[in-house]
């Protein structure tokens, strides 16, 4: 792998990047209200559509995207662009179908919505734990792997200790933004880093096309991009369908069958964009519904860009660096990039290191650091929100707002520690196509969750028993496939090692593409959810006001599905708050131990003040007034409502044109 040492202008650019982003993060932390739950976890629901859209894009596009998407493009052409183009439609579905229900329901986290919709706690706890595991083992691990790859190239692949120190430094900066300023600081830094990412990626795209001789030369050159030493013609072969988005659906005929892309990918995308905390939390922070929809539209426009900024440069990198990126001999590949499965993951880093001039090379490294940290800050904030609201409140029934704020910040530190401990596992799992690995894991675990959220939002008949037991059936089915696929080591192409997998497993794994399996898993979960719900008692409609698409505008007071433990905890918390209010008014001065004062100071909450259930800037509303306010929140100005609808049609038209052009 090519190694180029950074020069002093590169370090100056990187230093300026860190100073600027830190300044923005500290400014956002200072101006944001982080001493209450809404302020810290939802940015006081006061975010502009530009900030929401930029944060949606930055949260989605991490350093793993630059490495994984470009690597898959280098291996098999533009097919990976289907993930980006399909997301445009799903972003519109998020803004127009799902967010209105979430906004009307008044939730902070996605598991909290499930608790309100079905009652009980077991589904909420399950989804919370599953989300945290998926964040650690896919999002955080993939982005850290990609970031580590760039750092290794930038520092000349020196000692392992240097790699650890670099990643720990990045995690510390990301944690600082998240802990200090909550969602508001994360969104503002996402906005700045989105601009930086786009500028750097556009420059590299221009340099790449200039090096290869233009678009037509790229297509011609890609199909002839072979390394000089070809040990196995089959392994070096470039698929004939490389310039097509829709590919043969028959087993073994293509890497991304069109049936899987149209149906299976849609299922995974709906889970990610419409029910994942990292994404939805940005929309929940919007000023109103028009700003939420505007953010989704901006994210849709930005999602057109990865085809040009990542996919095409990945293909160009194979042309310019065929001996390294396109290596096909397992031993040679291991010598180049320490992976026997291929070196396509180095496609984008190779372009940066070899073809960016001094100074701009430092800027592109800063772009990768921006992508890495924007993703990490988003995951850290959303993970701390889920743990605090959905898990800690079950452990501590009568936890105060200050306690929840401290717990949210401390849990971020726990995630940083887990991420550091995960680095050796990331280094030992150097798959050829990082992005496909992430998508396959998602296809084994996410479709059941997607099915339940769709049924929860768009049907009234599904109940808690149907939802829970169908999720368990879906989980068991997905884990079986997960174990079959990752329980056996598949020898790399061209290896003399025999394939030791039993025939039945080769049939199951080889003949059923992971996107097709996602469709099957989705249908299994939905089928059992409907059947079990039909055989058990339905929910009273009084529990569903503003929790489904059909009842989102309801102004009726919603009955809350609470179990006995929750009711007792609520009563205990009210008694404690009443006791405080009897002795003091809205805020009480309270002498705290020195250790508690220090902890409060570090965590950025008021040292001497304990807030009651009534926030300082908000008058307590009656249940009837709350119901009316929640329904009225969905109302939009006529002009701006029409404006966002027209833009939604325009962006979907652009996506449809690209689908048709490359189909």
pLDDT digits (tens, 9 = 90+) for 257-296: 999 999 999 999 999 999 988 889 888 888 889 999 999 9
625 and 638 assigned to the same domain: no
Position with higher pLDDT, 4 vs 526: 526
* C-alpha to C-alpha distance for 327 and 321, rounded to whole angstroms: 10
- Shared domain check, 119 and 196: yes
- Which is more confidently placed, 129 or 189? 129
Check pLDDT > 60 for residue 461: yes
Which pLDDT score, from 0 to 100, does residue 603 have?
A: 52
How many other CB atoms are there within 10 angstroms of residue 230's CB atom? 15
Is 616 or 126 the better-scoring residue by pLDDT?
A: 126
Give the model's pLDDT for residue 158: 46
pLDDT of res. 605: 53
> CA-CA distances (angstroms) from residue 166 to 162, 433, 637?
6, 24, 48
SS3 content of the chain, % helix, strand, coil (to 5): 75, 0, 25
80-118 core/surface letters (b: 16 or more CB in 10 A; e: else): bbbbbbbbbbbbbbbbbbbbbbbbbbbbbbbbbbbbbbb
Instruction: List the beta bridge partners of residue 218.
Output: none
- In the predicted structure, residue 589 carries a pLDDT above the cut 50: no
Number of independent structural domains in the chain: 2
3 occurs within a structural domain: no
| Banded pLDDT at 614 (limits 50, 70, 90) | very low
Within a domain: 28: no
Q: Which of 28-32, 171-175, 398-402, 474-478 has the lowest mean pLDDT?
A: 28-32
Which CATH number covers residue 465?
1.20.1730.10
Are 515 and 607 within one domain? no
**How confident is the prediction for the chain on average, in pLDDT?**
79
Is the model's pLDDT at 346 over the cut of 60?
A: yes
Average pLDDT over residues 199-225: 93
Answer whether residue 314 shows pLDDT above 70. yes
Percentage of residues in the chain having pLDDT higher than 70: 76
Is 40 contained in some domain? no
Task: Tell me if 127 sits within 8 A of 110, measured CB to CB.
Answer: yes
Average pLDDT on 298-303 reads 95
**What pLDDT is stored for residue 609 in this prediction?**
43
Identify the band that residue 81 occupies on the pLDDT scale cut at 50, 70 and 90: very high
pLDDT digits (tens, 9 = 90+) for 6-41: 677 877 887 887 777 777 767 766 665 545 555 554
Task: Give residues with Cβ within 8 angstroms of 631, minimum separation 6.
Answer: 104, 546, 552, 553, 554, 555
Whether residue 530 is found in the same domain as residue 465 = yes
Asked whether residue 311 is assigned to any structural domain, the reply reads yes
Instruction: Please measure the distance between the N-terminal and C-terminal CA atoms of the chain and give it in whole angstroms.
Output: 34
Q: Which two tokens stand for residue 585?
A: 């008014």
Which are the contacts of 484, defined by CB distance < 8 A and separation ≥ 6? Answer: 505, 508, 509
Q: What is the pLDDT of residues 481-491, one digit of tens each?
A: 887 776 666 77
Contact 147, 63 (CB under 8 A): yes
- 458 and 324 part of one domain: yes
Higher pLDDT, 240 or 562: 240
Q: What sign results for the dihedral spanned by CA atoms 352, 353, 356, 358? A: positive
In a domain, 34, yes or no: no
* Per-residue model confidence (pLDDT) at position 584: 42
43 has pLDDT over 60: no
CA distance 647 to 644: 5
Domain match, 524 and 598 both: no
Instruction: Return the higher-pLDDT residue of 641 and 11.
Output: 641
Percentage, residues of the chain above pLDDT 90 = 30
Q: Using 50, 70 and 90 to split pLDDT, how confident is the model at 608?
A: very low
Is there a single domain that holds both residue 456 and residue 389? yes
Residue 65, judged by CB atoms within 10 A of its CB (0-12, 13-18, 19+), counts as: buried
Output the pLDDT for position 32: 59
- The predicted pLDDT at position 384 comes to 81
Cα distance between residue 379 and residue 23, in whole Å: 21
Q: Which one is predicted more confidently, 323 or 615? A: 323
Burial annotation 265-274 (CB, 10 A radius, 16+ → b, else e): bbbbbbbbbb
Q: What H or E segment, with its residue span, contains residue 587?
A: strand 587-589
Distance CA 527, CA 524 (A): 5
Assess if residue 31 is contained within a domain: no
pLDDT value of position 465: 94
What pLDDT was estimated at residue 288? Answer: 87
* Same domain (yes/no): 580, 489: no
Nearest to 139 by CA among 453, 458, 376: 376
Per-residue model confidence as pLDDT tens digits over 116-165: 999 888 898 888 888 888 887 777 777 777 776 677 666 665 455 666 66
pTM attached to this predicted model? 0.84
User: Average pLDDT in the 400-422 region?
Assistant: 76
- Are 323 and 438 contained in the same domain? yes
Q: d(Cα 368, Cα 70) in Å, to the nearest integer?
A: 13
Could you tell me which of 315, 311, 324, 343 has the C-alpha nearest to residue 220? 315
Query: Minimum mean pLDDT among 71-80, 188-197, 417-426: which range?
Result: 417-426
620/638 same-domain check:
no
- Are 191 and 232 contained in the same domain? yes
Supply the range of the domain harboring residue 489: 8-21+47-553+634-662
pLDDT of residue 157: 56
Residue 77 has pLDDT above 50, yes or no: yes
Looking at the predicted structure, is the pLDDT value of residue 513 above 70? Answer: yes
Q: Check whether residue 445 and residue 518 sit in a common domain.
A: yes
272 inside domain: yes
Q: How far apart are CA 290 and CA 286, in angstroms?
A: 8
Return the pLDDT at 607. 44
């Amino acid at each position: 792998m090519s190694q180029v040492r950074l020069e002093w202008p590169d370090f100056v650019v990187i230093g300026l990047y860190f100073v600027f982003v830190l300044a923005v993060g500290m400014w956002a932390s200072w101006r944001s209200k982080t001493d209450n739950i809404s302020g810290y976890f939802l940015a006081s629901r006061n975010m502009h559509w530009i900030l929401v859209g930029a944060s949606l894009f930055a949260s989605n596009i991490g350093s793993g995207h630059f490495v994984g998407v470009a690597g898959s493009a280098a291996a098999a052409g533009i097919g990976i662009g289907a993930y980006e183009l399909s997301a445009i439609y799903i972003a519109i579905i998020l803004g127009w179908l799902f967010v209105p229900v979430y906004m009307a329901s008044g939730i902070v986290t996605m598991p909290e919505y499930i608790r309100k919709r079905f009652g009980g706690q077991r589904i909420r706890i399950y989804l919370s734990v599953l989300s945290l595991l998926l964040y650690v083992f896919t999002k955080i691990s993939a982005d850290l792997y990609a970031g580590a790859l760039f750092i290794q190239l930038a520092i000349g692949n020196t000692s392992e200790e240097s790699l650890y120190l670099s990643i720990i430094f990045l995690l510390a900066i990301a944690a600082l933004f998240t802990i200090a300023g909550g969602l508001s600081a994360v969104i503002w830094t996402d906005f700045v880093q989105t601009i930086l990412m786009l500028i750097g990626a556009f420059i590299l795209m221009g340099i790449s096309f200039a090096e290869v001789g233009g678009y037509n030369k790229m297509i011609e050159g890609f199909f002839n991009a072979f390394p000089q030493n070809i040990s196995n013609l089959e392994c070096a072969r470039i698929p004939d369908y490389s310039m097509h988005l829709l590919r043969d659906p028959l087993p073994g005929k293509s890497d991304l069958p069109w049936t899987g892309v149209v149906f299976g990918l849609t299922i995974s995308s709906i889970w990610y964009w419409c029910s994942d905390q990292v994404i939805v939390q940005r929309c929940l922070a919007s000023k109103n519904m028009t700003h939420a929809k505007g953010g989704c539209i901006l994210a849709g426009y930005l999602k057109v860009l990865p085809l040009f900024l990542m996919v095409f440069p990945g293909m160009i990198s194979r042309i310019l660096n065929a001996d390294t990126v396109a290596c096909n001999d397992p031993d040679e590949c291991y010598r180049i990039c320490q992976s026997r499965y291929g070196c396509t993951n180095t496609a984008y880093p190779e372009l940066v290191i070899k073809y960016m001039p001094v100074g701009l090379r430092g800027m592109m490294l800063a772009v990768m650091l921006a992508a890495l940290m924007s993703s990490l800050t988003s995951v850290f904030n959303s993970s701390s929100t889920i743990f605090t609201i959905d898990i800690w409140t079950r452990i501590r029934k009568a936890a105060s707002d200050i306690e929840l704020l401290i717990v949210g910040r401390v849990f971020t530190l726990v995630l940083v520690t887990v991420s550091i401990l995960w680095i050796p596992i990331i280094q030992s799992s150097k798959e050829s196509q990082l992005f496909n690995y992430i998508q396959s894991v998602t296809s084994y675990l996410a479709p059941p969750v997607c099915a339940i959220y769709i049924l929860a939002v768009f049907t009234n008949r599904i109940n808690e028993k149907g939802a829970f037991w169908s999720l368990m059936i879906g989980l068991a089915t997905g884990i079986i496939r997960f174990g079959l696929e990752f329980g056996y080591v598949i020898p790399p192409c061209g290896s003399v090692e025999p394939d030791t997998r039993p025939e039945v497993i080769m049939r199951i794994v080889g003949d059923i593409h992971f996107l097709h399996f996602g469709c099957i898993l989705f249908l299994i979960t939905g089928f059992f959810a409907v059947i079990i719900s039909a055989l058990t008692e339905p929910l009273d409609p009084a529990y569903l006001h503003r929790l489904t698409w059909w009842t989102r505008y309801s102004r009726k007071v919603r009955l809350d599905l609470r179990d006995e433990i929750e009711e007792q905890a609520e009563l205990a918390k009210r008694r404690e708050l009443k006791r405080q209010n009897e002795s003091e008014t809205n805020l009480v001065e309270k002498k705290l131990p020195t250790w508690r004062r220090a902890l409060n100071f570090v965590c950025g909450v008021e040292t001497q003040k304990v807030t009651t259930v009534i926030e300082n800037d908000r008058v307590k509303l009656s249940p009837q007034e709350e119901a009316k306010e929640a329904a009225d929140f969905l109302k939009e100005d006529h002009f701006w409502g029409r404006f966002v609808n027209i833009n939604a049609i325009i962006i979907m038209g652009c996506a449809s044109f690209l689908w048709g052009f490359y189909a």
